[in-house]
A and B are shown apart, each in its own frame.
Chain A
Amino acid sequence: MLTMLGQLALAYVAVLGFGLIINIPRRALNVAGWIGTLTWGCYLIVQSFDGGVVLGSLIGSIGIGVLGNLAAHYKKMPSIIFNIPSLVSFVPGSQAYQMVRTFAVGRYLTAVGFMLQVVMITGAIALGFLLAELINRLITFCLQQWGRLRQI
């Protein structure tokens, strides 16, 4: 439990740091950090049910896409400002490094295994964004219908 809270705090800090590097507007920093924390929490929950890294990344990136869009409407800023920093904890950096290392020392079979992991995680993130786009369109559509109903 304590390690989980620690991980969430670290996720917030890391997103904040990446936001500073790519120079997002100051008033977006906090919101981006919270999106990163929430989605990392979803990832950890999936992990604790033995869901695996790929499913965790999928759920996390769906969360980032949807929450980023909501934050963009709320703060009136482009949604990439929230998406890109929040995604930093989901980058398969560890697997990509292991792939390069095993390739460099000539253990090609292990390297291909790591490469497949990197490809699958990246694909899961891309698919997550696609699904998030779908959910965003649904939310906009429902809001429009709701507005029309209230006018009548």
Chain B
Amino acid sequence: MLTTDELIIATCLKAGQIMVENGSEISRVDDTMSRIAQNAGVTGANTYVTITGVMMSIQGRNATQIAAIKQRTIDLEKVAQVNQLSRSFAVHEIDLPTLHAQLAQVDQATRSFPLWLQLVGAALVSGPLMIMFRHEVVNTWPTVAIGTLGYLVFYLLNRYLKIKFLSELVAALVIGIMAEWAVQIGWGTNINDIIIGSLMPLVPGVPLTNAVRDILAGNFVSGPARAVEALISAAALGFGIAVVITLF
């Protein structure tokens, strides 16, 4: 049976783990964990959050736990849900065991937007951004189609291979080859515009934004680590495109 201290730490760690896994910035995770501990009646809680692990102890008590973070995805809905749960715990709408149980539920839940809606999202990103960047509408439909296909390839590979950088590389290759093909059969007129638009759904926007925010907040372990993640993603996309350009 868990003691109260252990339950408090387990709850805080669960909250922190879910938030880091789904793309929250570090200072918010730190803040949420200390708030939960404070509202559970603990003073002197120590939290240490990095993007590969979360640790917490209570000063002067014999309880410390670590939660490792093996994989990270982007699902901001879960971050918002944890935030919401923490808020309702703060105003005593729910008690600690309920909070722990609900956090486990949030962790298990699948994404609220199904795959087809994400594909619609990819289509909505690639086409409009191509028009905004390049000021032309001739290549809109090939861009929309290839952007959606590229995101589908990335999604499926990421799901089964579980190596994000490899999936990005293959998706970039597919986008480049399809863009070349679309231009050769005369569907599109400008391969550059098609590739620019189609790559936009895969751009590492979340790691980049979080890297900046973490570094500004003084988290010099997680910030640069995220910047490296964003850089490798961008390099994988760029390398895939470069291969196609040199081939044709």
Contacts and interface: CB of A to CB of B under 8 A. Distances in A.
B196 A14 contact: no
Nearest to B32: A78
A129 B216 contact: yes
Contacts of B234: 96
B121 A104 contact: no
A105 B25 CA distance: 38
Contacts, number: 148
Interface string A83-107: 1100111010110111111011100
A98 B199 CA distance: 13
Interface string A4-39: 000100110110111111111110100000000000
Contacts of B16: none
Contact of B212 (A16, A26, A129): A129
Chain B residues touching A, range: 35 or more
* Most chain A CB within a 10 A radius of its CB, from B77, B112, B124, B201: B124
Contacts of B246: 104-105
A101 B238 CA distance: 8
A24 B113 CA distance: 9
A104 to B, nearest CB: 4
B195 interface: yes
Contact of B122 (A17, A28, A91, A97): A17
A116 interface: no
A81 interface: yes
B80 interface: yes
Chain A residues touching B, range: 35 or more
* Most chain A CB within a 10 A radius of its CB, from B75, B125, B241: B125
A99 B196 CA distance: 12
A25 B113 CA distance: 9
Contact of A93 (B122, B151, B196, B206): B196
Given A24-B77, A80-B210, A130-B216, A94 B133 contact: yes
Nearest to B197: A93
A100 B209 contact: no
Interface of A: 7, 10-11, 13-14, 16-26, 28, 40, 76-78, 80-81, 83-84, 87-89, 91, 93-94, 96-101, 103-105, 122, 125-126, 129-130, 133
Given A17-B123, A97-B241, 17 more contacts: A13-B124, A14-B129, A14-B132, A17-B124, A17-B125, A18-B205, A20-B117, A22-B206, A23-B76, A23-B111, A25-B80, A25-B112, A26-B112, A80-B209, A93-B203, A96-B238, A97-B192
Which A-B residue pairs are the 8 nearest by beta carbons?
A: A17-B124, A20-B121, A10-B128, A104-B242, A17-B125, A100-B238, A17-B121, A14-B128
